[in-house]
Structure 1
Amino acid sequence: MLLAPASSSVYSRKRKFVKMDSRRKAGMGFLTSLLLLTFLPLHSSGKKVRWCTLSEMEQRKCSDLSRALLAILPPAVLNSFARVSCVRTHSTQDCISKIQANKADIVSLDAGDVYTAVKLYNLAVVAKEISEEGSCVLAVAVTRRGSLDIQRLKGVRSCHNGAKWTSGWNIPVGFLLSKNYIHWDEEQSLIRALSEYFNASCIPGVGVAAPQLCALCQGQKSYIRDKNYFCESSHNEPFSDSEGAFRCLTSGVGDVAFLDHITIANATDTEQAEYELLCPDGSTANLTAYSNCNLGRGPGKAVISRHSFHKIAKKFLTIIQNLFGQKGKARTRFNLFMSAAFRGQNLLLRDTTQSLQLVEEQSDITEILGRDYVALLKGLGHEGKNSRSSLDNSILRWCCISAAELRKCEEWALNIQSDPLVCVRGFSQSSCIEMIKRNEADVVSLDATHVYIAGFCGLVPVAAEYWGKECLLDSGRAVGVEKLIHVSEKGLPPVYSVAVTKKLAKHVNIHNLGGRRSCHSHLYSPAGWLLLSKHVLGDLGIDNSSCDINSVYQHYFWKGCMPGAEGNLCKVCLGKEETAGKDNSRCVANHDERYYGNLGALRCLVGDPDGKSLGDVAFMEHYSLLHNIKNLERLGWATGYSDSDFELLCPDGSRAPVTDWLNCNLGPIPSNVVMTRPVITSRIHDFLVKSQETLDLKPDSKFQLFESYVDGEADLLFKDVTSCLVHTNHLSYRTLLGEQFYQLAESVFNCTHAGILEFCNQDVCTSSEK
């Protein structure tokens, strides 16, 4: 039987269909080629990818991913790759164990668990989850409006997104420890300290050894391990993860919830009306103000696997992101970063994730998570049960900027009976900040400008140098130096920046210093660098928000000595006496340069021991001026000088005797502050208390902590004018500096290059995402 020919219209439609089909096949052919090239190593390995899941919802999403790959991948790789296995586990800890035992391959974990997986289970990071805001999250504390503040959390019921997790444990616990709100002594575990601080909690994953920290959890209980979800970091624990911690609060079970900012970023109008954030300074803020009201910033989630599976995992993540990511070719078939279709949130990966950033296998965990975060975890004992009692954590490493400071520090260590004090050598105050950031040192006392730098770099205050005649409590009652007293919000007695010249130099005043020879205590010094900028820029008519101060000084002064600087401002520096003529110590920002510090600036003004005049003006702090003038002869530097041989340059252009510093100065300078990493503040505080108690029992001892006239130097470790140390870790470094000084420092550093600030800004999670 012959078939009748098709009509022309039918034939036309058929041609059109064939044409479209050929284009589709051509497109699929290109995709097939791409996939074949991508998966060739996978195909040859014959490996499947086993994704670890933590709930039935996650299991369903994983299964749908597997079916999507089966439908899209070309036949050439179907048999060996496309069938993604979904391995059901009951907790993140179970998942980590299964990956280590080669019973699963990959999972995305909170950064706290990532660190555990890498350090304790020898697993590897494959990729970081990147959101619109970057790779980091903010840790926030949420409570009902008008109910609490961050300083009154003892005895409340707390909800946490997970044990040893970034925003629910590491950052908030680190913050509470840094402020001494939680007391954690060496004899107890951190879990015990938290159990004593909170009335009851839900901290999923904390373990059965801490029943009080699981008391609020509501997961299913079972004697069968794989069916027990009570207090486990699993979607089957209703109060697990940040959404669960918020649910714990909103359901009325808890009083405060510690979670990440992503959870509250899209809070409903009702939630915004009923709940608020707790800020570090004791205030509160709306839920939308998390950028300014948070307890700190830390790394977000990351995908882990075994080292042996790292390359395969990277290939796998690359292709599923290309297919199902935000710009995926097959996103309509399966959305990798969406969980609503499976009636859950953040399944497999976070719903807010925009992309996966692959990580090289050889990358160090510190590079991936950041120096500050890793130092925090070490301080919290994340490297095992005995990590906190290890040698590294039983000693205190004081950073010394010079050989003279090192000698005094070692003498200090011999004169106290407390925790072991180890003295480590830095080369400047900035280098000590860097060493503390790198966990190569623990603590140092810094001048006010360096306190600003250290605060920007994430260090916190422990104690301040009290420069009054005697240490006073807020009530005015005098106390001994054996205790670190609290200082009020009113602040501490300041010293003043002064400009000093020789009385015979009648033609010199504060307004005609351009082209003259200058002496400064050191680079970034409060007196000779920061406060001076106001007067120099004012005379030049330059706005201090649009200049580089170092460049201005180089062109403003003819030559001088500013230890730590470069160019003209190093020309009259001397270096060490025993290495005169060599460059290894000349103009270094420590006592190895004889013109360093307040005493050094005076030496520079007076001239070298041979009587050669090197300076027309010296910028220093007033407190030691008279003392240093009197000691020039005793120190073997110069003879015949008295305070009547010098005068102060006043801001109005007049001059005054050196004793009139209160009325003739360039501005007040906040106290020096002892700075350290946040989580070890209580240990530093306890050390200083014990140290001062011990030394107070030896009033006639040759060694005095606040005296330094050894080796012809001054102000070693602490200012010699210090009466005692006062407790300050309940205050922020900004409060200690005062708003006027802080804003001046901020405006100057906004336009002035500083290598130490660039170093600090390289960390993974800083105040602004890179």
Structure 2
Amino acid sequence: MKQDFWTFGPTNSAYKPSSAATGISHPTSTMAALVVILGISLLTVQTAGQNIRWCTVSVQEMAKCKAMSEAFSDASIRPNLHCVSDTSVAGCAERLRKKEADAFSASASNLYDMGRQDTLKIAAGESGPDHEGLTYYAVAVVKKSSTVTVNSLRGRRSCHTGKGRTAGWNMPIGHLIDSGRMSVMGCDISKGVSEFFNASCVPGAVEAGDPASLCSLCVGDGAGGHRCEASAQERYYAYSGAFRCLVEGAGEVAFVKHTTVPENTDGQGEEWANGLRSGDYELLCRDGTRARVTEFQRCHLVRVPSRGIAVGNDVDPDQVYNMLMEGQRKSGFAMFQSVDFDGTNLLFSDRSTTLIKASGAHHIDWMGHTYYHALRAMDCSSAEIPEFLRWCVLSSAEQNKCVDMAKALLSKGLTPKVQCVFGDSVDHCMQKIKNNEAHAITLDGGYIYTAGRSYGLVPAAAESYTGDTDGSVYYAVAVLKKSNTNIRRLSDLRGKSSCHTGLGRTAGWNVPVGLLIQRGLIAPHSCQIEEGAAGFFKSSCVPGASLPALCDRCIGDNSGQNKCEKGKDLFDGYTGAFRCLAQNAGDVAFVKHTTVFQNTDGNNTEQWAVHLQSKQFQLLCSHDTRAEVTQFRNCHLARVPSHAIMVRPQLNHHAIYGLLDKAQDSYGSDLSAEFRMFDSSKYGGSDLLFKDSTLRLIGVGERRTYQEWLGQEYLETLVAMECPSSTAGLSITSLVAVVFLSSLVSLLAV
């Protein structure tokens, strides 16, 4: 077989490299060597495609595979189909990895497990006569008379088909965790479910460690036996049982599949379902709305994909798909029947009638991201959960608060335990996290961009300033004194004095300066952003800036030292920038929408702020008008994401959020006597570990990357602040091509 790899041309003669051909001193020898390399690659693929080795997992499957192989051969189907055997799907996956097999069929959950090694592609999915795939939909059913939505499930009573089952457990719980609605500490999913729902019936939740509330709604066989058993002896077991649990009022929501309601209403189903009407029930949609039970295709929690045809990474998926489809058409072999081989669902599902070509070879694209991430949220082995969560701190005050937080969380038995790691700067902390010397830090949008782009970090949780998911964003605003009537539009800021939260910070620098660059009002020469801003404003206070003009309006600390120093100047941060405006050091302050309210109307009792009123200030809008400070939703410079806790992607971010969510249940209130997560006054600072204005920490949901968290609008603002790069537009493919061609030219020039 190896000699076949070296066969070229119509004469079928073997190429045998001479000693001269092995060197690179002669151009013709070099070209010959390159031709050999390319020829080997092409012929290896060609030879590998001459036979497709199908992996079977039982004696019955092997018998069916051999019969299919003979039928395909008789019909002259190519490539040739050969059969290899193993004892399990996992074994077949290993054979694919070792290139001892080429293809086999598996369930979506098995394909998820195999996909961790990333050694497979998807050729096709099985389908019924509707050509939409043998999929089904995991749905949440409620009574039409109820007010429940997917966003108000916390504290409700729930009905499940059984622990570990797809539609009734893995999909709904996985989705609730992945969407950030449910938190789970330490990957103890049963405990997380018991803390989320008020009471449940989860047949089979009788293992050691399963909370009693998971079985509290179950009724058994009605005679006191088999309660919460994962069998038909439990009245509320499986699809119909979970729906019956809802119908009889035990639960307020039932997690079933999309066919369950029509199978048990409108004259269908067993005696207990007599008189039930499908119109009396509705589905909960992921976006918080509800829909009729017939609208499951658009309103469901998760679409569960059909079985798929997995092939090895070195196998052409189209070749396998074409072989199977041609074999089905021409050979007459009943691919989707197993009765003649004394089994069911052998090689393929007996319910299938055809195959649908995969639109994408990657297993995640094929199965769908919602399904994949629901399974991943339930998979405790998919990411690292550290014994100690090392939090990176930037000052002695933050270190003191971190130590107190670690002690407070330890006293409640919360895991992972917190340790405090000191960093010299934000960038130093990001590098520590990348190197696994630290695990977490809270960052604003500008630093989130750097953390993701330069250090590969991802968001694990985020701050909410309203207490709900809408509070995970805030508005960057430009604040003016109402008495200053000379500024009506952004262009009027030229030649005025400005107050900023700090160099590189979101609301105080990146958004306003980026917007001014986008509008053409600032045109930095050679991408010198600071010089451009200094040329636009007459004078400024930008803590952390390097130019005197951008530090001119800063005043330092109470002793007059540390002028223009981040974290030390009295005009640093949101409150500092607003103070700069209030004390007439600047004409405009770039802050966030809550800053004015936090420092006026008696909310700040410091001497400089105690007499300030919010009605004394106005906002400058991006569309060149002014508005009252209460109108920030319509008058702002940008809608930007809140601060987020950033971690390495290898870390289980669900576990990190689970820890923080449980922590804030005890310490999230500013009235807590032991420790206050969102209050830094005790430590002589502000916004330590978390912003003091945070009301609650929330999960990041589907915004799993720094780009998704920041959003396109804000990303464009940041890009406007960046220097152009001559290679920025090159894709990886382009770069590889450039490198290959350069190498080729070098070789041929020898």
TM-score by length of 2: 0.51
Q: How much does 1:461 deviate?
A: 7.2
Q: Which of the residues 70, 73, 76 maps onto 1:70?
A: 73
Deviation string, structure 1 residues 305-332 (Cα, Å, up to 9, x no partner): 7xxxx466x25x543213334xxx5662
Indicate yes or no: 2:94 matched with 1:114.
no
Aligned match for 1:705, one of 675, 679, 696: 679
Give the match's secondary structure for 2:663: helix
Look up the equivalent residue of 2:479 and give its one-letter code.
A
Match in the other structure for 2:381: 383
CA change 1:651–1:428 in 2 (3 A) is same
Match of 2:3 in 1: none
Instruction: Provide the residue aligned with 1:127 in structure 2.
Output: 122
Which deviations, in whole Å up to 9, do the C-alpha atoms of 1:523-563 show, x marking residues without a partner? 89579888x9xxxxxxxxxxxxxxxx955653264589xxx
Tell me the alpha carbon deviations over residues 34-55 of structure 1, each in whole angstroms, 9 at most, x when there is no partner: x998652366xx984323479x
> Contact 1:444–1:674 (CA<8 Å) still a contact in 2?
yes
1:416 corresponds to which residue? 408
* CA offsets 1:686-730 (integer angstroms, 9 cap, x no match): 12234458994458x9x98333985xx74344444x4x845878x
2:47 is aligned, of 22, 40, 43, to 40
1:284 aligns with 2:281: no
| Structure 1 residues 655 and 690, CA gap change in structure 2 (3 angstroms) | closer
Q: Is the 8 A contact 1:514 1:556 kept in 2?
A: no
> Measured at CA, do residues 267 and 178 of structure 1 come closer, stay the same or move farther in structure 2, by a change above 3 Å?
same
Residue in structure 1 matched with residue 664 of structure 2 by the alignment:
688
Are the aligned partners of 2:137 and 2:304 in contact in 1 as well (CA < 8 Å)? Answer: yes
Q: Would you say 1:499 and 2:479 are equivalent positions? A: yes
1:173 and 2:162 equivalent?
no
Q: Is the 8 A contact 1:398 1:443 kept in 2?
A: yes
Is contact 1:107–1:348 with CA below 8 Å preserved after alignment? no
Q: In 2, are the aligned partners of 1:498 and 1:648 still within 8 Å (CA)?
A: no
Secondary structure of the equivalent of 1:684?
Answer: helix
Q: Is the 8 A contact 1:501 1:618 kept in 2?
A: no
AA in 2 matched with 1:554: Q
Deviation at 1:285, TM superposition (A): 1.3
Question: Measured at CA, do residues 112 and 349 of structure 1 come closer, stay the same or move farther in structure 2, by a change above 3 Å?
Answer: same
Q: Are the aligned partners of 2:514 and 2:717 in contact in 1 as well (CA < 8 Å)?
A: yes
Contact 2:392 2:440 in 1 (8 A): yes
1:381–1:357 distance in 2 versus 1, CA, 3 Å: closer
* 1:333 partnered with 2:330: yes
Q: What CA distance in whole angstroms lies between the structure 2 residues aligned with 1:691 and 1:274? A: 42
Percentage identity across aligned positions?
A: 15
1:604 CA displacement: 7.3
Structure 1 CA distance for aligned equivalents of residues 438 and 137 of structure 2: 26
Q: Which amino acid aligns with 1:686?
A: K
Q: Is the 8 A contact 2:567 2:573 kept in 1?
A: no
Contact 1:497–1:619, Cα closer than 8 Å, also in 2: yes
Give, as a single letter, the amino acid of the residue that structure 1 aligns with 2:662: D
Structure 2: runs of 5 or more not aligned: 1-41, 221-228, 269-277, 551-564, 647-652, 704-709, 722-730, 732-750
Q: Give the counterpart letter for 2:283 in structure 1.
A: L
Q: Is the 8 A contact 1:125 1:304 kept in 2?
A: yes
| Deviations, residues 17-50 of structure 1 (Å, cap 9, x unaligned) | xxxxxxxxxxxxxxxxxx998652366xx98432
Structure 1 residue matching 2:329: 3-state secondary structure? coil
Q: Distance in 2 between matches of 1:678 and 1:578?
A: 37
1:544 is aligned to none
Q: Does structure 1 residue 598 correspond to structure 2 residue 569?
A: no
Q: Is 1:554 aligned to 2:521, yes or no?
A: no
Alpha-carbon contact 2:444-2:642 (below 8 Å) kept = yes
Deviations 1:709-761 (A, max 9, x none): 85xx74344444x4x845878x9999xxxxxxxxxx999569978799xxxxx
CA contact 1:138–1:294 (8 Å) conserved in 2:
no
Matched, 1:51 2:56: yes
**Superposed displacement of residue 603, structure 1:** 7.6
Distance in 2 between the 1:36 and 1:674 partners? 51
C-alpha distance in 1 between matches for 2:92 and 2:190: 24
Paired residue type of 1:508: I
After superposition, the CA RMSD in angstroms is 7.5
* CA–CA distance in structure 1, aligned partners of residues 543 and 510 of structure 2: 23
Q: Map 1:189-588 to 2 at 5 A.
A: 190=190, 198-201=200-203, 276-280=282-286, 283-287=289-293, 289-290=295-296, 293-295=299-301, 310=312, 314=315, 317-325=317-325, 332-333=329-330, 339=336, 346=349, 353-355=356-358, 357-358=360-361, 380-383=378-381, 392-396=385-389, 407=399, 410-413=402-405, 416-418=408-410, 419=414, 420-422=417-419, 444=442, 464-465=464-465, 499-500=479-480, 507-509=486-488, 513=492, 515=494, 519=499, 521=501, 550=514, 554-555=518-519, 557-558=521-522, 568=532
Tell me how far apart the structure 1 counterparts of residues 170 and 375 of structure 2 sit (CA, whole Å).
7
Shift of 1:172: 1.5
- C-alpha contact 2:133 2:305 (8 A) present in aligned 1: yes
Q: Is the 8 A contact 2:391 2:420 kept in 1?
A: yes
Q: How far apart are the structure 2 equivalents of 1:380 and 1:623?
A: 42
Task: Please name the residue that 2:81 is paired with.
Answer: 82
Q: Alignment partner of 2:519: what SS?
A: helix
Q: Deviations over 1:434-488 (max 9, x none)?
A: x99x99956858799999xx9xx9979787457xxxxxxxxxxxxxxxxxxxx69
CA contact (8 A) 1:51 1:85 kept: yes
Counterpart position of 2:561: none
Cα distance between partner residues in 2 of 1:599 and 1:500: 14
Question: Which residue, out of 715, 722, 738, partners 2:687?
Answer: 715
Does the residue aligned with 1:687 lie in a helix, a strand or coil?
helix
For structure 1, list consecutive stretches of 5 or more residues without a partner in the other structure.
1-34, 218-229, 238-243, 360-364, 467-486, 533-548, 584-589, 635-640, 735-744, 757-761, 763-770
TM-score (norm 1): 0.50
| Cα drift, residue 622 of structure 1 | 0.3
Tell me, yes or no, if the aligned pair for 1:337 and 1:349 is still in contact at 8 Å. no
Q: Which amino acid aligns with 2:173?
A: V
CA distance in 2, matches of 1:179, 1:74: 47
1:129-144 superposed matches below 5 A? 129=124, 140-143=138-141
AA in 2 matched with 1:51: T
Deviations 1:250-293 (A, max 9, x none): 999999775788x89x9999898686422357653134645653
